[in-house]
Structure 1
Amino acid sequence: MISRRRFTLSLSAFALSPLSAAVQAASRKPAVSLRPPLAREELITDTLWGKAIADPYRWMEQKPDSAEFITYLQAQSTFARQKLDKLPGRRTIEASLQRYSAATTDVQLRQVTSTQLIFARRAPGQQVPKVYARPHAGGVERLLIDPEAGKKTDAQAEAPKRVTGVLMSPDNKHLAYTIDSGGDEIRELHVLSLESGKDQLITKLNGLPTSWLADSSGLFYSRLREGAVKGKVDFSFDTASWLHRIDKDPAQDSLALRWNDGPVMGQTEREMPLVLTNVASDWALGAIYSNGEWPAYGMVTRVAELAVGKPKWTAVFDRDDIAVHAVTAGDDVYVLAKGKSERGEVFKVSARDPDKSKREVVVPQGEHVIDSLSLAKDGLYIHELRGQVGALRRYSFATGKVEDVKLPVTGAVWEVKCDPAVEGAWFGMDDLTWSARTMHTGTDLLARDTGLTPKAPYSTASFLTTRQDAWARDGTGVPIEILHKDNTKLNGKNPLLIIAYGAYGIVLDPGFQGAMLAFLEQGGVIVYAHVRGGGEKGENWHIAGQKANKPNTWRDAIDVAETLIKAGWTSRGKIALWGTSAGGIMVGRAITERPELFAVAIGDVGVFNTLRFELTSNGPGNDEEFGTVKKEDEFHALLEMDSFHHIRPEIHYPACLFITGANDPRVEPWQVAKMAARLQKNDDTKRPVLMRVDYESGHSATTKKSGIAKNLDIFAFILAYTHG
């Protein structure tokens, strides 16, 4: 998968653009041209299913990156920097970003343990979050991890480090954590013993901690195989789960689960096995994750048997169930699945006798989409999507009833965290126009603000959200959220930015982002379009934007734009479209199908050459979402969604700002570079095509500074070219 809301479960294949080479290239400053540096062409033609596919930029795909490509990226970066720095209004936009973004304290709850909350916090002035612990009821907090501790202060280039995952042991004495460098997402796994301060490196092979033994004596984790080669399509193949014993040499770690262990259910070497245990059950769940995102196959064994290397795996669910989450509690396994109920249901199956015919649906499908579940002592806490806002419900183990948690406000609900030994749940809430809060509910099902997240140091009273449907050409209602100031007039004169995604069944759930208010301060309007391919309306909404149905994704975005024009929110010449990651398909095909409709396109770490994506390290598994060239019908679907191959000469396309991170492991920079190169051949100085390269980031900005800098460039570019 390219972009994941639940990336803590992800261990996809990652191919890197070498940071050292990128930094060296960044230190060289080639001469700046008045026009973008055109890429060398070397035509290669493939014939697929009787159709000739010509590609003049295949040379960019070489791994590791060639010296020529690194030099080309730097030339593009230098040219883009020259143009972006000269855009009007930058100082005003930057001042607004500093007010709304830099001044905000960001808090993310990472884990609830039997006694503590584990959370990450980035205070104003800090570049990356630090990890802390504090008692449930408040009190003195403890700094656990500071990624910037020991950072060099001299002039030597150093990639920013960030903590990407944490998992505290049940006894609250050992913290497993992962850390990456420069956004490369190759995570070092460590175990920090809190009493002694000993920090032990467990693996450098992209480690992922998944669960602890109940007595805290051992940690289950996944890692890449020895000898995995960055950039190869099989990079993540044969990833396995291991058991590490505390205070033992990691070289003595024992193999716990491989993809081909247990019953044969169709799993393959490209999938990722995880071992999930908790203190509420003597059973271990062996979950085989499809490309790191959802547990396609599930099996159980006794934890005691697994710990001594003698598991007896028994299947409990498979691919047809379309499981989203699964947990063990006592002798039962609870599974949130969408195979029979497209909006989701929760069924219970006995670990002792997991016969499909004996399953019991404990939370049936309802009117709203069930998005996730979390295990607490008193029951399962279930997140629902109700239209474009969230809700939280509890399935009670004691009564079997499903009841709503009483929320004090209406907004998004996210990151629901529980501990199986503790009653209640902790979770985040926010909305587009009010900042995040960390909430807690007990058995009374009444949610209260914990005060863990400080309030924003400014008022958002002048910003409003309008929610409605836009109507697609086939009569389908596409939910949209319009973020605007209270004095915005429907006179067709507003610069308007549409943000959409539409893939993997992932919900576009932006929540509060202070940076977006800076765009509104300049008279802009922001629209979040929940196009088909996402999960906003259930699995059928996802399938409606998948493979051969993918055109619905970008045509929904086009129809949203037309709806907004008719309503007077904006007009042609004033519309920008922003797509990130898999959203690159949406933005790329929207502008190649209707170039006259949009003034600006923002392609942020986007996939634009879908015919070649499955050959990348992050490609295996994505055929389930987009298709494979190995099948004729899916080849044609991939070609239809391939923006790179839909660019035509002499067409006036929108002004384009393409963005890549030099260390991006999910969408390699050549995907962005090929799209930019072909568009730059059209040489339209009134509608420039720029390629912005961040040498300290990967698939997303790694520091607060780099995030603000990116938003400054995006907003300045949009406002400069949506003048009508």
Structure 2
Amino acid sequence: MSRPSFRAPLALALLMSAPANAQAAERAAAAPMPSLTYPDTVRGDTVETQFGVDVADPYRWLEDDVRVNPKVAEWVAAQNAVTDAYLDTLPGRDIFATRMSELYNYERFGLPEKAGNRYFYTRNDGLQPQSVLYVREGLTGEAKVLIDPNGWAKDGATALAEWTPSKDGAYLLYSVQDGGTDWRIVRVMDVATGKDLPDEVQWVKYSALDWAKDGSGFYYSRFPAPDARDAFQSLNENHAIYFHRLGTPQSEDVLIHASPDKPALNHSAQVTDDGQYLIVTSSEGTDERYGVTLYQLGKKGAKPRVLVGDFANNWEYVGNEGPLFIFLTNKDAPRQRIVAMDIRRPKALTPLVAESEATLVGASQVGNRIILSYLGDAKSEARMVTLAGQPVANINLADIGAAAGFGGKPGDPETFYSFSSYARPTTIYRLDTATGASSIFAEPKLTFDPKQFSVEQRFYHSKDGTEVPMFLVMKKGIDRSKGSPTLLYGYGGFNVSMIPAFSPTKLAWVDKGGVLAIANLRGGGEYGKAWHDAGRLDKKQNVFDDFIAAGEYLIREGITGKGQLAIEGGSNGGLLVGAVTNQRPDLFAAALPAVGVMDMLRFDRFTAGRYWVDDYGYPSKEADFHNILSYSPYHNIKDDVEYPAVLVTTADTDDRVVPGHSFKYTAALQHAKAGDKPHLIRIETRAGHGSGKPTDKIIAEAADKYAFAAKWTGLNVE
């Protein structure tokens, strides 16, 4: 599933001209608009009986791949024509696009990775479609362009995806992502010359990429080559790990690890820091429930050793010294802890860092220190301990926000981390692990003042009394005595935490006088395993209740008014928006479900959908069937009910949440007697699920969505 990214005197004048209350919002939304005639969508007669329930699926044909079925392609073109004609009437469309382009136009850096004496990092000068990979000789050396993917495709939609240098920095292993697909093509570059080697590996997906210590080759994971017609829709099964030796064709790659008796397992390979072992981590779904198998490298005849075989807990490698391994785990610690394991006696664990009130979300060994990343009420904290787990220092972060990175190796005296917040773009810091001092490695020059925005955290109570945190972002000086048009964002699933993150597109909404609210719903990982468990399977309704309660809180507290609230979410968050729109259509003025999982009875039949049963359950099991049918967005659209304005967004080439979900949901919504507000779908081309999307496409889509939300919440952006 899926994971987001923010000048100013003029904005104050715009804010002052915004509608002051809910009545103004209603008047703005009631302004004359062109009448909408939706394309005719053929309704089939498919009805399937499951566990005694007749389930109609009249739009089954819209599941077909747009690249294969010309009728689906015609439907997409017809829907886009109607949507584009409507969006063309919204003055906010161009205004938002212009402001978002201004806010996006700043220098952005990725986290550096050190290999040998070389430092590798990405940089975008502002509005480049894709970020460029640079290399420096030494920390202060001159930056040299290593890979510029912006010339790979005319539309900018071919991206540099995963990359990793060899241990000595001589070679770079990198993957290419075309048109947003999850499939990768893996290549190798000689860093000194900047030229590619002849090596190429295909049909790689959901793969770590890691080098052998001697640089002779690399480990990767792949699926069998699919049939050409089904490459972007067929189920992903029989994942396997291979070793590719440099200078050889892929056909000679050596199979390292597979599970033909358990085709649903995924496998990921990681070489230990000392180069002596290969750690294979296996899982079946999205839950952090892993099996761990160890291969001793360079020892002929050595048999693989199963360290963990129960698939019950999270296990993340931190470091090792010979047979003594350090892991991050949630075994006997729902908010996670650090333990040592002697691989000769893997069942005997030695505690190093105990479970804390804050949720431990990451750990890495750098030099002779372990850097620990925590979430405390969904805000980042960082601490440093010795290899024995003794506290050394807390790492002082700049503000309420999100820190990431802290990678490194046992011999390194330094690590790098990023810090950002809702109104503060990413700054890259270098941390000296000996002194604990942080210094700026790369800081963007901005065209706006972050101090003009405020970020605060609130706590509200859900339907069952559970306290849920929520962040609010707004312009300082906003008149808080009256409601403001508000955009409420949520996800609520798969142990994913909604931490403070910078987004130029969302900041444009705030800059124009709107309020941004981000709810930390159950189903996420903000408070560890228990928080996740409380929002999945038969408890999934808690997520929807949390989101509805967030909307009610915003109205009750006067932050927004009735008729001023828009909701947004993507992927699992698209499911969230679709479900709560069905359950409380009266609460929202506009809904923006993106790349959502909308047909809960058939999600497990396409590409990665089978993994999601950990959060949703199995449509083929009776209890799960009844539960997911109760909230499935496609199956619960109501007739003769006034729905909010809805703009669905997806991409015709999304091969993670296949676009048939959004196609079927939109067709059903347009067919229903769901009121006079527009119910439209915007279908992007060559954009996939989101990763690798070029900057111009990001801005265009966000401008359309927020102009639509502004129209129906009464936000005056002119």
Given candidates 42, 52, 55, the residue that maps to 1:53 is 55
Aligned to 1:666: 656
The residue that corresponds to 1:240 in the other structure is 240
Amino acid at match of 1:287: T
Aligned AA (1:200):
P
Residue from 345, 348, 357 that aligns with 1:353:
345
Whole-Å separation in 1 of the counterparts to 2:312 and 2:77:
47
State the Cα distance separating 1:419 from its structure 2 match. Answer: 2.6
- Conserved 8 A contact 2:87-2:93: no
Task: Kindly indicate whether residue 172 of structure 2 is the aligned counterpart of residue 175 of structure 1.
Answer: yes
Residue 449 of structure 1: how far off its partner (Å)? 3.4
Q: Which of 702-711 and 485-494 deviates more?
A: 485-494
Give the equivalent residue in structure 2 for 1:257: 257
Q: CA deviation at 1:110?
A: 5.9
Which residues in structure 2 correspond to 1:371-386 (within 5 Å)? 371-386=361-376
CA separation of 1:579 and 1:150: change in aligned 2, threshold 3 A: closer
Shift of 1:314: 1.5
- SS at 1:461's partner residue? helix
Matching residue of 1:42: 44
Q: CA deviation at 1:338?
A: 1.8
User: What is the CA distance between 1:214 and its match in structure 2?
Assistant: 1.2
The secondary structure found in structure 1 opposite 2:669 is helix
Q: Aligned partners of 1:253 and 1:660: how far apart in 2?
A: 36
Distance 1:633 1:334 in 2: 40
Measured on the aligned residues, the alpha-carbon RMSD in Å equals 2.3
**Could you tell me which amino acid in structure 2 is paired with residue 180 of structure 1?**
Q
Deviation at 1:415, TM superposition (A): 2.9
> 689, 707, 712: which is aligned to 1:716?
707
Q: How does 1:487-566 map to 2 (within 5 A)?
A: 487-566=477-556
Residues of 2 paired with 1:204 and 1:177: CA distance? Answer: 12
Distance 1:555-1:324 versus aligned 2 partners, 3 A rule: farther
**How far is 1:90 from its partner?**
2.8
Which residue type is aligned with residue 85 of structure 1?
D
Please tell me whether the aligned partners of residues 323 and 335 of structure 1 are also in contact (alpha carbons under 8 angstroms): no
Q: Structure 1: which amino acid aligns with 2:51?
A: W
**1:205 aligned residue:** 203
In the TM superposition, 1:103-252 aligns within 5 A as 103-109=105-111, 111-135=113-137, 137-149=139-151, 151=153, 160-196=157-193, 197-206=195-204, 208-227=207-226, 230=230, 235-252=235-252
Contact 1:166/1:178 (<8 A) preserved: yes
What displacement does 1:193 show?
Answer: 1.7
Unaligned runs of 5+ in 2: 5-33
Contact 1:405 1:445 in 2 (8 A): no
What CA distance in whole angstroms lies between the structure 1 residues aligned with 2:167 and 2:657? Answer: 37
TM-score by length of 1: 0.89
Q: Distance in 2 between matches of 1:41 and 1:474?
A: 40
Structure 1 stretch 639-648 or stretch 61-70: which is displaced more? Answer: 61-70
Answering whether residue 84 of structure 2 is matched by residue 90 of structure 1, we say no
What residue is the counterpart of 1:21 in the other structure? none
Task: Quote how far apart the aligned CAs of 1:337 are.
Answer: 1.7
Matches within 5 A, 1:568-647: 568-647=558-637
Deviation at 1:385, TM superposition (A): 0.4
Contact 1:127 1:705 in 2 (8 A): yes
Residue matched to 1:484: 474
Q: 1:135 to 1:472 in 2, by over 3 A?
A: farther
- Where 2:698 maps in the other structure, the secondary structure is helix
C-alpha contact (below 8 Å) 1:408/1:447 kept by paired residues: no
- In the TM superposition, residue 297 of structure 1 has moved relative to its aligned partner by 0.7
Helix, strand or coil at the partner of 2:654: coil
| Structure 2 residue 696 is the aligned partner of structure 1 residue 705 | yes
Partner SS state of residue 625, structure 1 = helix
Compute the displacement of 1:619 (Å): 1.4
Contact 1:178 1:190 in 2 (8 A): yes
Of residues 296-305 and 591-600 in structure 1, the stretch that sits farther from structure 2 once superposed is 296-305
Give the distance between the partners of 1:444 and 1:75, measured in 2 at CA.
Answer: 62
Aligned to 2:298, what secondary structure does the other structure show? Answer: helix
Q: Residues 640 and 337 of structure 1: is their aligned pair in 2 closer, same or farther, counting only changes over 3 Å?
A: farther
Residue 71 of structure 1 deviates from its aligned partner by: 0.8
Task: Supply the distance in 1 between the matched residues of 2:56 and 2:90 (Cα, whole angstroms).
Answer: 36
AA matched with 1:241: I
Q: Equivalents in 2 of 1:412, 1:421: separation in Å?
A: 26
Which is worse superposed, 319-328 or 417-426? 319-328
Residue 27 of structure 1 corresponds to none
Give the counterpart letter for 2:198 in structure 1. Answer: Q
Q: Give, as a single letter, the amino acid of the residue that structure 2 aligns with 1:312.
A: K
3-state secondary structure, aligned to 1:591: helix
Paired with 1:676 and 1:233, the residues of 2 have a C-alpha distance of 20
Match of 1:66 in 2: 69
- CA distance in 1 between counterparts of 2:344 and 2:276 reads 11
Shift in Å, 1:34: 4.2
Question: Deviation of residue 633 (structure 1)?
Answer: 1.1
Q: Structure 2 CA distance, aligned partners of 1:408 and 1:699?
A: 32
Q: State the match for 2:18 in structure 1.
A: none
1:241–1:539 distance in 2 versus 1, CA, 3 Å: same
> What secondary structure is seen at the aligned counterpart in 2 of 1:419?
coil
Structure 2 residue 336 is the aligned partner of structure 1 residue 344: yes
Deviation per residue, 1:673-709 (Å, 9 max, x gap): 1111111123667410110011131111611100110
- 1:568–1:290 distance in 2 versus 1, CA, 3 Å: same
8 Å CA contact 1:373–1:381 kept in 2: the answer is yes
CA distance in 2, matches of 1:75, 1:180: 28
Deviations 1:599-627 (A, max 9, x none): 00001111111111011111122111110
Displacement of 1:148 in angstroms is 2.4
Structure 1 residues 79, 420: CA separation in 2 closer, same or farther (over 3 Å shift)?
farther
**Contact in 2 for aligned 1:233/1:620 (Cα 8 Å):** no
- Check whether the contact 2:163–2:209 (CA below 8 A) recurs between aligned residues: no
- How far apart, in 1, do the equivalents of 2:445 and 2:388 lie? 37
Matches within 5 A, 1:336-485: 336-354=328-346, 356=347, 358-397=348-387, 400-401=390-391, 403-444=393-434, 446-485=436-475
Letter matched to residue 190 of structure 1 = R
Counterpart position of 2:296: 302
1:690 alignment partner in structure 2: 680
CA distance in 1, matches of 2:35, 2:549: 38
Return the alpha-carbon distance in structure 2 between the equivalents of residues 409 and 363 of structure 1.
25
TM (norm. structure 2) is: 0.90
Equivalent residues of 2:407, 2:415 under 8 A apart: yes
1:219 CA displacement: 0.7
**1:11 equivalent in structure 2:** none
CA contact (8 A) 2:642 2:676 kept: no
Asked if the contact 1:107–1:120 (Cα under 8 Å) also holds between the matched residues in 2, the reply is yes
Q: Which amino acid aligns with 2:489?
A: I
- Does the Cα contact within 8 Å between 2:112 and 2:416 map onto a contact in 1? no
Cα deviation digits, residues 269-328 of structure 1 (max 9, x gap): 1222222113325222111133477461101121113xx6x4412222245542152244
Counterparts in 2 of 1:324 and 1:453: CA distance versus 1, 3 Å: farther
**% same residue:** 24
8 Å Cα contact 2:431/2:437 also seen in 1: yes
Tell me which amino acid in the other structure corresponds to 1:124.
G
